[in-house]
A and B are shown apart, each in its own frame.
Chain A
Amino acid sequence: MQAGATFRYQLLWVVVIGVAGIVVYSEMCGRVAAVAKRPVFDLVRERTGFSAGLATLAASQVVNLMTCAAEVGGVAICLQLLSGLPYRLLIPLAVVGLAVASWVLPFEWIERVFGYLGLCLLVFAVAAIKLQPDWGSVAHGFVPGSHTGGSLSVYLYFVVGLLGAAMTPYEVYFYSSGAVEDGWGLKELGLNKVTSMIGYGLGGFLSFALMIVAGTLFLPLGIDPQFLGTPPLGAEEAFGQVGLLLALVGILFAVGGAAIETCFSGAYNTAQFFGWRWGKRERPAAASRFTLAWVIIFTLAFLVVMTGYDPVKLTEYSVIFSVVALPLTYLPILLVANDRTYMGSKVNGKLANVLGVLYFILILAIAVAAIPLMLITHGGQG
């Protein structure tokens, strides 16, 4: 949203590149899970050794915790915007609600409840149309080029942030662990391609919608979205109270679902690194250390949010720090997906390799640039 409110539609092309990148690497992860029956983090440790694996685990856990805390805070703010109850009361309620849902609901139901209700976010897509943007400028935004409306460093900071948000590591950890949990085999290779394309494609589509709403409504008014309550104003402008409620419910469930995914991702990584028994499908007592890991992550996220740190700022920092950890996540995936000892005849084809290498070069570049850009631009403020 901030990208749209600062550069109008000029950064839409970055979303396309980011979504294509996560599709390329998720497809590899899903294929590795289906063929080798092993999730990403298991392979990270095996391919990189204990020390580098531990460094990757530490980096990913810090980012996971920051992201999870931001999402828990986001859920609490959303509940506050819906109910009017005090934020500090809603933080423990949000954590308990998410933990109970994680404990009680089977995997499929977590996906259904949070996924389907998260689709209320599609209200932003309809709002984007109703706000009547200049479609010529929107189309132009899909072509990289010179920019107007802010400094080059801020523009690059948003490029890095959008790529980092699209390719955040927890997504591939969760995706590959889920594939192993679902018992994917060779038969699911087609499903893997479709799931990664549609799933991440939908996320990209919603990013387009949010950016178009911000560029059409907020930029001309001089609004810089700094609050979780700002995006719903776009749906409210187009559809009044119905739009507002759909937006809030969509954000609540999309962010809540993401909090569960992030939390589980952290538990998966820890369990897989140390060789513990793991899995949402396991009885909690049978995979006790895995269960304890996700309970601890929720507890730590709760404590972070209770410090009063702004969840929106926390999200921005977690995205930028996740960019730094990206190469540690994606290199082992690329190596294993090319290794015939794991993959047999299902190693990467030419297209997957060309794209994988190109994206890895891009990931390295943004990982190097992320922190300096954050410092130079004061977190995108210029």
Chain B
Amino acid sequence: MSAKALTQKSTSLESLAAEGALLARHAGAGKSTHVFTRVHSGYLHEAASKEASSLRTATTEPALELKLQRVTSLAGKVGADLKRVGHASKAEQPRLARELEAAAKELK
């Protein structure tokens, strides 16, 4: 995987994490419906899982190995958090929102 492709993956995951954080924040504040939260987070989770799968099988030049590992690890975490957003209680959502925001910042 080239440096450009890795950056694109990272940007894409950052976007998914940020969107998931916004959705979780809305769900926690009672601004969203359960159905919308579940379905939309499902789409975000599916996209993050696809990115995570392609990252897990990717290889790159030695100089980028560490970055690839970090992005792959964050991809797994973002995917798992997004899955939880769809089924979490209102009380759990703010914590998930914070975790996803932190992941988005790390991916920046």
Contacts and interface: CB of A to CB of B under 8 A. Distances in A.
A233 B26 contact: yes
Contacts of B3: none
Nearest to A378: B8
B23 interface: yes
B43 A222 contact: no
A237 B31 contact: yes
B81 to A, nearest CB: 16
A222 B15 contact: yes
Judged by DSSP, the binding face of A is: helix
Interface residues of B, number: 26
Contact of A82 (B14, B19, B35, B108): B35
A224 interface: yes
Contacts of B33: 241, 244-245
A221 B26 CA distance: 14
B22 A223 contact: yes
B104 interface: yes
A223 B18 CA distance: 6
A270 to B, nearest CB: 35
- Tell me whether chain B's interface is mostly helix, strand or loop, or mixed: helix
B47 interface: yes
Interface residues of A, number: 24
Interface in B22-57: 22-23, 26, 29-33, 35-36, 38-40, 43-44, 47
A223 B19 contact: yes
Interface in B4-20: 8, 11-12, 14-15, 18-19
Contacts of A381: 8
B84 to A, nearest CB: 17
Contact of B22 (A84, A237, A241): A237
A284 interface: no
Interface in B43-74: 43-44, 47
A227 B40 contact: yes
A309 to B, nearest CB: 14
Given A81-B39, A227-B43, A222 B18 contact: yes
Contact of B47 (A80, A81, A226, A245): A226
A221 B32 contact: no
Given A221-B18, A222-B18, A233-B22, A241 B35 contact: no
A222 B26 contact: no
Contacts of B108: 222
B104 A237 contact: no
A237 B32 CA distance: 9
B43 A229 contact: yes
Contacts of B19: 221, 223, 227, 230, 233
A322 to B, nearest CB: 26
A230 B19 CA distance: 8
A240 interface: yes
A224 B47 CA distance: 13
A341 interface: no
Contacts of A245: 33
A334 to B, nearest CB: 41
A229 B35 contact: no
Contacts of B38: 84
Contact of B39 (A80, A223, A226, A237): A80
B12 A224 contact: yes
A90 to B, nearest CB: 11
Interface in A215-248: 221-224, 226-227, 229-230, 232-233, 236-237, 240-241, 244-245, 248
Q: B30, B35, B38, B40: which has the most chain A beta carbons within 10 Å?
A: B40
B103 to A, nearest CB: 11
B97 to A, nearest CB: 12
A223 B26 CA distance: 15
Contacts of A224: 11-12, 15
A307 interface: no
Given A222-B11, A229-B39, A241-B32, 17 more contacts: A81-B36, A84-B35, A221-B18, A222-B18, A227-B19, A230-B19, A233-B19, A236-B31, A237-B22, A240-B29, A240-B31, A240-B32, A241-B30, A241-B31, A244-B32, A245-B33, A248-B36
16 contacts: A82-B35, A224-B15, A226-B47, A227-B40, A227-B43, A229-B40, A230-B19, A232-B36, A233-B26, A236-B32, A236-B36, A237-B26, A240-B32, A244-B31, A244-B32, A382-B8
Interface of A: 80-84, 221-224, 226-227, 229-230, 232-233, 236-237, 240-241, 244-245, 248, 381-382
